[in-house]
Chain A
Amino acid sequence: MSELAQSTAFDIYATFQQFLQDDQISPPLAAILSLAEAIVKSNAGTMFELVQALNDGAEELKRRSKNPISLNAGCELFIAFVTLFPHESDNFAELKKELEQQGRTYAREAISFRDKIAELALGFIKDDAVILTHSYSRVVLKALLHAHKTKRISVYVTESRPRGLGLKTHEALTAAGIPCTVVLDSAVAYVMDRVDFVLVGSEAVVESGGLINYVGSNQMAIIAKAANKPFYALAESYKFHRLFPLSQYDLPTHNPNILSFPTPTARSAGHGDAPSSAIPDATTKGPVYPETSSSSTERAMSQEQIAKNPGVDYTRPDLISLVFSDVGILTPEGVSQYLVGMFAG
């Protein structure tokens, strides 16, 4: 983003952003790498101080990131690892170095996780399969490209408004020679009967076995369930997140602004004359009906309207057939076993 990284003091968020520049590195990994960097830069002299510093770093990342869910999963994993790391070294500096190495090694290994997942998913993709996917996910893309080497597949991908990341998937798949069509987010139910199964990536997989992913996944899962189609989620194990949302509104990304209604004062007060529309006030602007975007061919949501919408949603575990991960193919319930192993007891 900015040139903050050049500043003398260690800026964990800038480091994080820098790691993210690499196309292979996803937020949880970047978070782990940034925390590993933070270990080196910190002048902690005891374990307590070190964990404190890491927690502060994680907090900083969380505060400054718009969507902290997946990076949080990485932070938690690394901090839990650091706290529990069995060591005998008398030299604390050496231990710090070792921990930093561990973080880097893991990030290096983790790059291969997607290949592992692609290999696991291959068995579930039959020849001539028609697959529906949502938005853009590196691991899904990898799985599809891998399957394309040995099997004939065709893919429907949702446009995934408002960011339109589905078009990015479409571009990549078409370039690889996979027949691919973009469908409207609102046409998922229409297309569902044509597909063999649904394959989505994930932002995080939570303790219930449910899935947090780019908004629209939940409705896709509900429709898949209604049409009796398998719904598979792909998730690297560093996306296992210790969280137990009971509804959409329990997600850390939810805030009061999302789905809020405009205050009715604007309408009742300025009934006769046009409300003072000069100021782009989020609350008074409200629905943008014909006056603002009057071109009859295309109407688009305003930025403020988009801001009132969620970026990610939560999919219940009973809607998910299987979770493919580098640790194996799991039923949604199986995910919690790993989380309990790491964080409980």
Chain B
Amino acid sequence: MGPELHTIHGHRAVETLAAKLRRRQVVGSREAALETVLVLRQVVSRARFSNIQQLIAIIREVGRRLAEAQPKEHTVGNTVRRVLHNIREEANSATKAPSATTSRNVYTISKFVLQGQPRKQTASVPKSEAIATLREDDPDDPDSFARGLKPVLMEAIQDVLDELETVYENVSKNAKDHIHSDEIILTIGHSKTVEAFLKSAAHYRNYTVIVAETGPSYSGHDMARSLSNAGISTFLVPDSSIFAIMSRVNKVILGAHAILANGGLVAVAGSLLAATAAQAHSTPVVVCAGQFKLTPLWNLYHDYGALDFADPSSVLGFEEGKLVERVDVVNPYYDYVGPELVDVFITNDGDHPPSSVYRLIKETYDDDDHEL
């Protein structure tokens, strides 16, 4: 690929974000995704490249650094994949003219299996815009390609950014169709998406929310406070009573940290308890999450919970003195909730059953980006 690739290494913004991620100064899936797009925008705007492969290599390099800094923030990698996907699309349409002729004659059986029936290619519709003249690896002026393409690329990145900024509104757009009057909803943790979703429904419906306090972080307290401030009738219950009250609950609404390719999700610890209790009572489980949480990973070894661990002091503090020496304290941060426990995912891109998550992922990202 050449040495150009390494010019990016010392990029200040990349290093800063990597450090912030490592130190957990940037936490939360949306926060991490937003920061990543902003950094990628800087990187692309400064990058020097004379063909699309070079640009992609640069972005991948940056993406790998950021993802390695905090492997449990899946949205960092997702955002990079998304940007790569959009950039490729833009670049393809910009340089369509020469590639259209070559791709016609190589229709093979394996392509048939992969892509299905051949489409009636409307190949003879070259966009007679100025970008059609873009040439990769122009020997006279190596920067001309970058100069011509950059405005389009910026737009592509802006699209990703816009989507992230409007994600809460778009997820909660149809909230009133999912929550009916006088229903009792159970939720756990403090998911911003779920919060927006519930508040949006409150404009149209009168309903009750039961919030589990979500120990040991007790993020449920914040959630309950926020919801009752918005005028929603709210109950705060201990986590241990989730099963007991489930018989009165009409719907369980969960947030997600990441949605995996098999339709399972990683969510705040306690979600598995709520989802399993819901299944025992045949209560529907709804997951609200932005599309940027779709992660092309599988929960490989079916390990429950053991994904990330938080500070144990909130479980057993040092004031317990003697006991601390004698016990191991673990405070898992996330649960893995399998696809069979979820009824529907409500995203900013429509509602989907767990079984079609895998298809969404195929559409959103390019296959060769799964490993950054």
Contacts and interface: CB of A to CB of B under 8 A. Distances in A.
Interface of A: 32, 77-78, 80-81, 84-86, 102-103, 105-106, 109-110, 123-124, 126, 230, 237-238, 240, 321-322, 327-331, 333-334, 337-338, 340-342, 345
A120 to B, nearest CB: 10
16 contacts: A32-B109, A77-B113, A78-B109, A81-B112, A86-B118, A109-B108, A124-B298, A237-B110, A237-B114, A331-B262, A331-B339, A331-B358, A337-B359, A338-B113, A338-B116, A342-B117
A331 B300 CA distance: 14
Contact of B298 (A77, A109, A329): A329
Contacts of A330: 358
Contacts of B298: 123-124, 322, 329
Contact of B356 (A102, A333, A341): A333
A13 to B, nearest CB: 22
A77 B114 CA distance: 12
Contacts, number: 73
A312 B113 CA distance: 25
B263 interface: yes
Contacts of B358: 330-331, 334
Interface of A, secondary structure class, is: helix
B262 A106 contact: no
B115 interface: yes
A126 B109 CA distance: 34
Given A84-B117, A86-B118, A123-B298, A102 B109 contact: yes
Interface string B350-361: 000001101100
Interface string B99-123: 0000010011110111111100000
Given A84-B117, A331-B263, A337-B359, A230 B109 contact: no
Given A322-B262, A331-B358, A333-B355, A237 B113 contact: yes
Most buried by A among B104, B107, B112, B355: B112
Given A102-B108, A102-B109, A126-B301, A340 B116 contact: yes
A330 B261 CA distance: 9
A327 B262 contact: no
Contacts of B302: 230
Interface of B: 104, 107-110, 112-118, 261-263, 298, 300-302, 339, 355-356, 358-359, 362, 367
B302 to A, nearest CB: 6
Contact of A334 (B108, B113, B359): B359
B367 A328 contact: yes
B112 A342 contact: yes
Nearest to A321: B262
Contacts of A331: 262-263, 339, 355, 358
Contacts of B112: 77, 80-81, 84, 342
A124 B300 contact: yes
Given A333-B356, A334-B359, A327 B108 contact: no
Most buried by B among A328, A338, A340: A328
Contact of A106 (B108, B362, B367): B108
A47 B109 CA distance: 18
B113 A327 contact: yes
B324 to A, nearest CB: 32
Nearest to A327: B114
Contacts of B115: 341
A336 B179 CA distance: 32
Contacts of A84: 112, 117-118
Contacts of A345: 116-117
Contacts of B262: 321-322, 331
The 8 lowest CB-CB distance pairs between A and B, nearest first, are: A341-B116, A106-B109, A333-B355, A237-B113, A126-B301, A81-B112, A86-B118, A331-B358
A199 to B, nearest CB: 14
A126 B108 CA distance: 36
A342 B113 contact: yes
Nearest to A329: B298
A81 B108 CA distance: 9
Contact of A77 (B109, B117, B301, B356): B109
Contacts of B301: 124, 126
Contacts of A338: 113-114, 116
Contacts of B261: 329
A328 B362 CA distance: 10
A73 B312 CA distance: 56
B39 to A, nearest CB: 29
A230 B298 CA distance: 13
A161 to B, nearest CB: 31
